[in-house]
């Protein structure tokens, strides 16, 4: 049976449902990850990724996205992409239609337009209102960044064991223009290698990037750890080596080539959606105690 994982409560639910639908209509798991992230990016009511999410401090949305294929380590990514949806499709096109791994900013936008996407305004009235409120109360930015999960990271496994990872994000609410987090970075926000496993990260991008969280998790799986143990080991390593990372939520999830999966969080509660080819489950992940 195919398997699909998606992060965070509301956007993850939208993403996993769209992914399941794609597979059930004959799509591949790679297509399913693209469909899942596209659905979440496109939903104006989700203050999460893509349309309707929080902009940077200039009031503009800058999107990051990435995808990786575990059979041959192919990868594609875009960062600081403005006015284009779906960012995940552009990341996939970078992988499939160019010899590169990442395109950035205005040149990523130009590539997306050349490939047939139309520039559009991604700000909704609700997002504009949130931005205007932030302009008058910038000190309260922490209220926003802790209450909004602005990333969906997905992992997938085909029936035959092929693994995939993908992520899409608008990054931190009201971030510095040009800031790029872990999500589009291969090894940080995503990693997939059929010989070991697939992994993803979400939460505080700067810290997860410094930890090379996704690659670290798959590397630990290659050393014999179960996916759950590998995720916890990455979080433990971050707590020990990057103690400042405990100030904000950091999550690591992983999927083994045998279909076992796991997730770990450093603080707070995290929700992971899992579709196992038949049913969808919402799993609550809490920090390890003791
Ligand atoms: C970032 N890691 O840009 C992303 C944010 C995130 O839930 O995952 N939020 O830092």
Task: Output the residue whose Cα is nearest ligand 1's atom 10.
Answer: 205
Closest atom of ligand 1 to CA, residue 153? 8
Neighbour tally for 115: CB within 10 Å: 14
CA–centroid distance, residue 141 to ligand 1 (Å): 15
CA–centroid distance, residue 157 to ligand 1 (Å): 23
pLDDT, mean of residues 219-248: 97
Q: Work out the pLDDT band at 96, boundaries 50, 70, 90.
A: very high
Order of strands, sheet of 270-275, starting from the edge strand that comes earlier in the sequence: 102-104, 74-81, 63-69, 163-169, 151-157, 3-7, 270-275, 280-285
Task: Output the residue whose Cα is nearest ligand 1's atom 6.
Answer: 203
Mutate to test the pocket of ligand 1, among 182, 252, 270 (most ligand atoms within 8 A of CB): 182
Nearest of 269, 208, 290, 218 to residue 242 by alpha carbon: 208
Report the greatest alpha carbon distance in the chain. Answer: 54
Mutate to test the pocket of ligand 1, among 183, 212, 269 (most ligand atoms within 8 A of CB): 183
CA–centroid distance, residue 225 to ligand 1 (Å): 26
Task: Output the residue whose Cα is nearest ligand 1's atom 3.
Answer: 171
pLDDT of residue 138: 79
CA–centroid distance, residue 142 to ligand 1 (Å): 14
CA–centroid distance, residue 115 to ligand 1 (Å): 27
Cβ(157)–Cβ(259) below 8 Å: yes
Q: Work out the pLDDT band at 9, boundaries 50, 70, 90.
A: very high
Give residues (CB < 6 A) around ligand 1.
149-151, 169, 171-172, 181-183, 202-203, 205
pTM for the model: 0.96
pLDDT, mean of residues 194-222: 98
pLDDT at 145 > cutoff 70? no
Cα dist from 31 to 22, 116, 155, 199, 285, whole Å:
7, 18, 12, 18, 27
Place of tokens 């995503």: 190
What are the catalytic residues? Answer: 151
| pLDDT tens string 18-73 | 999 999 999 999 999 999 999 999 999 888 899 999 999 999 999 999 999 999 99
């Amino acid at each position: 049976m195919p398997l699909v994982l998606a992060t965070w409560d509301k956007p993850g639910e939208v993403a996993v449902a769209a992914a399941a639908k794609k597979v059930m209509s004959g799509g591949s798991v790679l297509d399913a990850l693209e469909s899942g992230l596209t659905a979440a990016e496109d939903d104006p009511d989700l203050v999460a990724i893509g349309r309707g999410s929080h902009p940077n401090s200039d009031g503009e949305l800058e999107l990051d996205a990435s995808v990786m294929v575990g059979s041959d380590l192919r990868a594609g990514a875009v960062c600081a992409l403005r006015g284009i949806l779906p960012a995940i499709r552009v990341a996939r096109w970078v992988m499939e239609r160019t010899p590169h791994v990442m395109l950035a900013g205005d040149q990523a936008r130009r590539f997306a337009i050349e490939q047939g996407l139309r520039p559009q305004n991604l700000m909704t009235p609700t997002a504009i209102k949130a931005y205007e409120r932030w302009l008058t109360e910038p000190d309260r930015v922490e209220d926003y960044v802790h209450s909004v999960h602005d990333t969906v990271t997905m992992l997938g496994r085909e029936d035959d064991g092929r693994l995939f990872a993908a992520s899409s994000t608008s990054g931190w609410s009201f971030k510095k223009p040009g800031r790029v987090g872990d999500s589009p970075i291969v090894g940080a926000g995503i990693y997939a290698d059929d010989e070991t496993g697939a992994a993803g990260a979400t939460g505080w991008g700067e810290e997860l990037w410094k930890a090379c969280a996704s690659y670290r998790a798959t590397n630990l799986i290659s050393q014999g750890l179960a996916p759950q143990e590998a995720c916890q080991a990455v979080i433990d390593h971050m707590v020990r080596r990057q103690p400042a990372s405990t100030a904000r939520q950091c999550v690591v999830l992983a999927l083994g080539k045998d279909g076992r999966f796991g997730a770990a969080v450093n603080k707070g509660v995290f929700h992971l959606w899992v579709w196992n080819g038949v049913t969808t489950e919402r799993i609550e992940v809490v920090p390890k105690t003791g």
